[in-house]
Amino acid sequence: MTTYIIRRLIQALVVLILVTLIVFFVMRLLPGDPVLIYVAQTAEFEAMPPETLDRLRAEFGLDKHIMVQYANWVAGIFRGDFGTSIFYREDVGTLMLERFPITIHLGFLAVIIGAVFGALAGMLTAVRRGKWLDKTVTPLTYGGLTIPVFLLGILLIYAFGVKLGWLPISGYTSPLDDFWLSTRQVIMPVFCLAVFGLAANARQMRSSMLEVTRQDYIRTAWAKGLGERVVVMRHMLKNSLIPVITLMGVGVSIILGGSVLVERVFAIPGVGSLFVSSIFGQDYVVVQAITLVFAVIILMVNLIVDISYAWLDPRIRYG
Amino acid sequence: MAELLKVENLKTQFNTEGGVVKAVDGISYHIDEQEIIGLVGESGCGKSVSQLSVMQLISTPGEIVGGEVIFEGQDLLKYKAHGSEMRSIRGAKIAIIFQEPMTSLNPVLTINQQLTEMLELHLKMSKKAARERAIELLSMVGIPSAKSRIDDYPHQFSGGMRQRVMIAMALSCSPKIIIADEPTTAVDVTTQAQLLELMKDMVERFKTSLVIVTHNLGVVARYAQRIYIMYAGRIVEEGTTKDIFGKPRHPYTIGLLKCIPRLDEEEGRKLVPIEGLPPNLINMPPTCAFLPRCSYKVGRCFQESWPPLKHLHGQHYISCYANTEERTSEPAAR
Amino acid sequence: MVEKHTSDIGFSEAPVRVSEWRRFRRVFFERKLVTFGLGVLVLLVIAAFFAPLLAPYDPYELGDAGESLLQPSGEHLMGTDILGRDTLSRLIYGARTALMVGFISVTVAGIIGIPLGIIAGYFGGVLNMVIMRAMDALMCFPMLLLALFLAAVLKEYFSGIWVVIIALSVAIIPGYARVTHGLTLSIKENDYIMAQRAMGSSNSRVMFRHILPNAFPPLIVLVTMQLGALILAEAGLSFLGIGIDPPGAAWGAMVWDGYRYLANNPVLWLAPGIAIALVVFAFNIVGDGLRDALDPRLRGLL
C-alpha cells in the first residue's frame, strides 16, 4: 500500500513538472519579446525608450537563461505570485481568488450530483434491468453524453427562464449573501455541468453492475441465502464502484472545461469567463495562471482517485 | 436411511438467440440422509445446471420449466426464486460448493466477512460468536493459523486453500445437503485428493449428505454410494457404485469406463475414447441423443423416441433399447 | 439471423461459424439507433460535399433591408439571421466546417499519437516513461481549455480555422497514445509477435507491419468516437468566438449569434444546436455499434 502510494506520488510529481513545462513553454511560443507582452497595453510602450525596456527585462528576469526564467516562474507560483494582469491591473492570484469560489461552488455541486445520482441511477437501472426505469433512463444517458452544454443551457433558459419564468436566467449571487436567490440561480448551470457526469456515471455504473452480476462470487452470495439488498449493497456495490471511480478524473476535467461555456451562457463571473475574456483581451498572464491551476486540480483529483482504488480494492492495497 | 431430497422430472432450459437449449430435460433423482451420490457426465450435459435449478439459482436466459424438487415435504420450485422461503433453505439447509475457487469468493471482502454473514443470517449468531465459529471452521478444514488468516482477502490464498474456505462456508450452518459442483476441477491433482478426503470426513462429521457433480468417474468411484450418469440433459443410467463399475449397461457409461486409465490392468489395453462430440442441445431430435456416437445401436433406436428408464435389478436403471449385456461379457471388472 | 444447422438428423458436430462479415453486419445493424446514426452521418457528408448545390441561398450574401431576422417561411425554411442571411444555407455550409475540423484533426493527431503509443508500448523502459508521462500531463488539461490556451497562442501564427484544427489535434493526441499503448502491450505478448522478434525482424517492421494492423479495429472505433468529441469541441470553441473567420459559417458561432434572439427567433440557435447534438450523437452511437460489432470485449476499454 505504502509503496503503491509513494509510486503514485512520484508519478504525479513528474507529471506536475511536465504540466508546468508545457504551460511555460507554450506561452513562450508567443511571438515577440515577452516583456512587450507584459508591458503592452499597460502604457504607451511604443514611446518607451529602449533603456526602459531593458530595465524591465532585467526586472522580470528576462535577460537570464530560459531555464532560470522557468525556475523563477515556478518559484513565484509557489509563493502565490502568478504575475500581474494587464487588463485588471491586479495581482493574478488575487484575481483568481475572487473568481474561483464561484466556479468551485458550481463545479463541486455538479461533481457531487453527477457522482451520487449518476451512480444511483446506474445501480437501479442495472438491478431492474429491462423494466420501465431502465427503459426510460438508459436512453436518456445517451443524450446526456452528447448534448452540447451550451445548447442545454440555452434550452433550459428558454424553457424555465423565459417561457415558464420559474428561474432567473443569468447571473450569480453568493449563497452567503442571499441563499435563496443563489440557489435559484445555480440550479440550471449546475444541472448543465452535472449532466455529463450523471450520464457517464449512470452508464458506467450500470454496465459494471451488470458485469459484476455475472461473477461467480455473486452466485456464491445468492447461494448463501442472502437477500437482494445484502447481495447488491454488500457484494456488488464496492466491486462495481471501482470502474466508476476511474471516471472521476475525466468528470472533473469535463466540468472544468464545461464551466467556460456554461459561465458564458449564464453570464456567471467565474474563472471560466475570466479565462475567455482574458484570451480575447490578450491577458496572457491570466490565461497561463488559470490553465495551470485547472491542470493541477485535475492532477490532484486523479491522484486521489488512484489512492482510493487502494481503499476499494484489496488486490491493489496488498499488491 | 430416509429420503431427504427427491427431484422429479426437472426441466430447465435456456432461451438463447439460436433457439431453446434444453439443458436439463426431465431428470429425476433422490438422495438419502447421510448419503453420498455422484452425478457424472461430460461438460455441457446439464449436471451443474440441474444442481443450480435445485437451488433456484438459474438466471435469465435460463428458466426452470417443469418438475418438482421435494425437500422436507415441500416443493422448492413452488417458492419464489429470491423469496424468503427459498433464502432460508439456501446455505442453511442446502449448501453448494462451486467449481472455481479463484472467482467464487468476493475479492473485496475478507474471509471473515464472507464466512460470518451466513452464520449471522441463518443461525442468528452475534458478530463475535460468528467470528469464533468461523475460525473454528477454518481450522477444521485445515487452514493453518486460521485465527490470523481470517482477516485476509481471497487473493492472499492459493486455489486449494480457497476451496477449503468454500468448504468451510458450505459446512458453516450444518446443512442437510452439500452440493459439490466440480469441486476439484480447478485445482491440481494432489490437492484434488486432499480436498475429496476432507469433504468425505466433513460430511461424516456433520452428518450431511453430499452430491458430487463431476465429469470424472474416478472421482466418485471412491466416495459415492450411488451414481447417476447424465447425457444431454437426461439421466441415462443410475445404480449403486458397484452396479456402475461392475456391470455398466448403458453404452455411454461403458464408453466412459473405457477411457479411465487403470494401473491394475494387463498391459496393452488401449484407452478407448468415445467417438464424436456431445450433441448441440438446440433442436434436439426426438431419438436418443447418444445415437450418433453409439456402437450398440439397433434399428429400434432410429424409430422410437428417447428410451425411458428401464429397471434392471435393485437400484440399477438404464435408458437404452440395445442389449448391451452380451457385448460386455468382459466388463471393466472392478 | 443465426444459421440453422445443416445436418439433417439435427446433430451438428460443432457450432456453425457465421462468416465474420455477416456477423459484423448483423450486430452492427441490430440496433435501430446505429442505423439512424449512420443515416445522420451520411447526410452530414452529403451536406458538406455538395453544400453549394444543396444550399438554397448564398450563405454569405447579406440580405436587403427588411430581410433580417425573418421567421421561417416557404422562402426561407429556417428564416434569416440579423444580417439577412439564410439560416438553412449557413447550416449546410456549417457541416463543411464541422467535418473539415473533425477529419483533419483526427488524422493529424493519429499520425502523431499512434506511433507514440506503439513506441512507448513496444520499447517500454525510459522511452515509455517519458512518452506516457507527457501524455498524462497533456491529459491534465480539460480538452476545451487546452484548445483555448493553444488557440490563444497559435492565433499569432495561423489564421481562422487552422488555429482550431491544430489546437484540437494536440488536445486529442494523448487519447490515441494511451489506447495504442494499451493495445501494443497486449498484442506484443502474442506468440506471433514473439516469433517475429525471434526471427530477427527489425523493430520498426514488427511495430508497423505486425502490431499496427492488429490494433486497427479498436482504433477505428476510437477515431469514430473522437470525431464526435472533436465536433463538439469545435462547436464549443466557435461558440466562444474562436475558429472560422466571419463570414464563414460554424454551428457553434451560429448558436451564440442566435442566443441573442432567444425568445423571438428560437430557430436561430435551435437549428445549429440540434445539428451539433445530432452529429455528435451519431458519431458516438456509430462508434458504439462498431465496437460491439468488431469486438465486444472492447467495452470498457473505449
Helix (H, G, I), strand (E, B) or coil at B26: strand
Say yes or no: A23 and A162 in one domain.
Answer: no
Is the omega angle on the peptide bond into residue A168 within 30 degrees of 0, that is, cis? no
- By Cβ distance, the residue of C134, C150, C281 closest to A18 is C134
Say yes or no: A97 and A243 in one domain.
Answer: yes
Q: Which residue is closest to A220 within chain B, CA to CA?
A: B104
Say yes or no: A63 and A204 in one domain.
Answer: no
Cβ atoms B4, B176 nearer than 8 A? yes
* Interface residues of chain C, partner chain B, Cβ below 8 Å: 2, 4-5, 9-15
Residue A45 has pLDDT above 60, yes or no: no
CA distance to B121, C36, C60, per residue, from C266 (Å): 61, 26, 21
**Residue showing cell 475457487:** B101
Give this complex's ipTM: 0.87
Say yes or no: A102 and A12 in one domain.
Answer: no
What residue segments make up the domains of chain C, in order of their start? 35-56+84-298
- Residue A50 and residue A70: Cα distance in Å, rounded? 24
Residue C10 has pLDDT above 50, yes or no: no
Strands (E), B161-274: 177-181, 209-214, 226-231, 234-240
Residues of chain C found within 8 Å of residue A157, distances taken between Cβ atoms: 262
Strand partners, B177: B94, B209
Say yes or no: A52 and A137 in one domain.
Answer: no
Say yes or no: A65 and A147 in one domain.
Answer: no
Choose among C152, C259, C138: nearest CA to A275.
Answer: C152
Residue ending a domain, choose from A51, A78, A105 = A78
pLDDT of B9-29, one tens digit each?
Answer: 999 988 887 778 888 888 999
Say yes or no: A127 and A242 in one domain.
Answer: yes
The one-letter code for the residue type at B310 is K
Residue A283 lies in domain: 93-312
DSSP state of B76: G
- Residue A225 and residue B127: Cα distance in Å, rounded? 18
- C111: number of Cβ within 10 Å: 12
- By Cβ distance, the residue of B17, B276, B283 closest to C5 is B283
Residues of chain B found within 8 Å of residue C4, distances taken between Cβ atoms: 283
- C197: number of Cβ within 10 Å: 16
Is residue A85 situated within a structural domain?
no
B38's enclosing H/E stretch is: strand B36-40
User: In this complex, do B98 and A313 lie within 8 Å of one another by their Cβ atoms?
Assistant: no
Neighbours of chain C (3+ CB pairs under 8 A): A, B
- Report the share of chain C in percent with pLDDT over 90: 30
By CB atoms closer than 10 A (0-12, 13-18, 19+), residue C273 is: buried
Choose among B221, B273, B258: nearest CA to B242.
Answer: B221
CA distance to A43, A259, B39, B186, C64, per residue, from B221 (Å): 99, 71, 11, 19, 98
Say yes or no: A239 and A138 in one domain.
Answer: yes
pLDDT reported for residue C15: 41
Is residue A224 situated within a structural domain?
yes
- Residue C181 and residue C113: Cα distance in Å, rounded? 10
Residue A217 has pLDDT above 60, yes or no: yes
User: In this complex, do A225 and B156 lie within 8 Å of one another by their Cβ atoms?
Assistant: no
Out of A85-99, A181-195, B60-74, C2-16, which region has the weakest mean confidence (pLDDT)?
C2-16
Burial of B266-295, coded b for 16+ CB within 10 Å and e otherwise, reads: eeeeeeeebeeebbbbbbbbebbbbbbbbe
By CB atoms closer than 10 A (0-12, 13-18, 19+), residue A131 is: exposed
Residue C3 has pLDDT above 50, yes or no: no
By CB atoms closer than 10 A (0-12, 13-18, 19+), residue C16 is: middle
Neighbours of chain B (3+ CB pairs under 8 A): A, C
Is residue A318 situated within a structural domain?
no
Strands B209-214 and B36-40: parallel
User: In this complex, do A148 and C280 lie within 8 Å of one another by their Cβ atoms?
Assistant: yes
Choose among B237, B215, B235, B211: nearest CA to B224.
Answer: B211
- Residue C245 and residue C294: Cα distance in Å, rounded? 40
Helix (H, G, I), strand (E, B) or coil at B73: coil
- Angle in degrees, 0-180, between the axes of helices B111-122 and B127-140, rounded to the nearest 10: 120
Residue predicted with more confidence, B330 or B194: B194
Say yes or no: A162 and A279 in one domain.
Answer: yes
Say yes or no: A175 and A261 in one domain.
Answer: yes
User: In this complex, do A298 and C137 lie within 8 Å of one another by their Cβ atoms?
Assistant: no
Phi/psi-derived region of residue B59, left when phi > 0, alpha when psi is between -120 and 50, beta in every other case: beta
Strands B234-240 and B310-313: unpaired
pLDDT reported for residue A36: 65
Q: Which residue is closest to C283 within chain A, CA to CA?
A: A146
pLDDT of C102-133, one tens digit each?
Answer: 999 999 999 999 999 999 998 888 999 999 99
Helix (H, G, I), strand (E, B) or coil at C141: coil
By CB atoms closer than 10 A (0-12, 13-18, 19+), residue B53 is: buried
> Which of C141, C154, C155 to mutate to test binding with chain A, by most A CBs within 10 Å of its CB?
C141
- Residue C175 and residue C215: Cα distance in Å, rounded? 14
Say yes or no: A175 and A304 in one domain.
Answer: yes
pLDDT reported for residue C134: 92
- Residue A102 and residue C110: Cα distance in Å, rounded? 37
Is residue A62 situated within a structural domain?
yes
Residues of chain B found within 8 Å of residue A215, distances taken between Cβ atoms: 103
- Residue B159 and residue B41: Cα distance in Å, rounded? 24
User: In this complex, do B17 and C14 lie within 8 Å of one another by their Cβ atoms?
Assistant: no
Residues of chain B found within 8 Å of residue A314, distances taken between Cβ atoms: 107-108, 110, 153, 155
pLDDT reported for residue C16: 42
- Residue C176 and residue C229: Cα distance in Å, rounded? 13
- Residue C287 and residue C33: Cα distance in Å, rounded? 12
Helix (H, G, I), strand (E, B) or coil at A288: helix
User: In this complex, do C148 and A279 lie within 8 Å of one another by their Cβ atoms?
Assistant: yes
Q: How many structural domains are present in chain A?
A: 2
- Residue A272 and residue A99: Cα distance in Å, rounded? 9
> Which of C11, C12, C13 to mutate to test binding with chain B, by most B CBs within 10 Å of its CB?
C11
Residue B280 has pLDDT above 80, yes or no: no
- Report the share of chain B in percent with pLDDT over 90: 25
- Residue A149 and residue A236: Cα distance in Å, rounded? 33
List the 168-207 stretch of B: residues with Cβ below 8 A of A: 169
By CB atoms closer than 10 A (0-12, 13-18, 19+), residue B252 is: buried
Residue C7 has pLDDT above 50, yes or no: no
pLDDT reported for residue C29: 81
pLDDT of C40-80, one tens digit each?
Answer: 999 999 988 888 887 777 777 777 767 777 777 777 777 77
Task: Give the count of Cβ contacts less than 8 A between chain A and B.
Answer: 78
- Residue C153 and residue A28: Cα distance in Å, rounded? 9
Burial of B227-248, coded b for 16+ CB within 10 Å and e otherwise, reads: bbbbbbbbbbbbbebebbbebb
Say yes or no: A55 and A160 in one domain.
Answer: no
pLDDT of B218-261, one tens digit each?
Answer: 888 888 999 999 988 889 999 999 888 888 888 888 888 887 76
List the 270-299 stretch of B: residues with Cβ below 8 A of C: 276-277, 279-280, 282-285, 292
List the 219-278 stretch of A: residues with Cβ below 8 A of B: 219-228, 230, 234-235, 238-239
- By Cβ distance, the residue of B18, B276, B285 closest to C10 is B285
Average predicted confidence (pLDDT) for chain C? 82
Neighbours of chain A (3+ CB pairs under 8 A): B, C
pLDDT reported for residue A319: 56
Domain C35-56+84-298 has CATH 3.20.20.60: no
Query: Domains in chain B and their CATH numbers?
Result: 1-97+177-183+207-263+271-285+305-325 (3.40.50.300)
- How many Cα atoms within 13 Å fall on the side-chain side of residue B57? 30
**Mean pLDDT of the B142-153 span:** 89
Residues of chain B found within 8 Å of residue C2, distances taken between Cβ atoms: 17-19
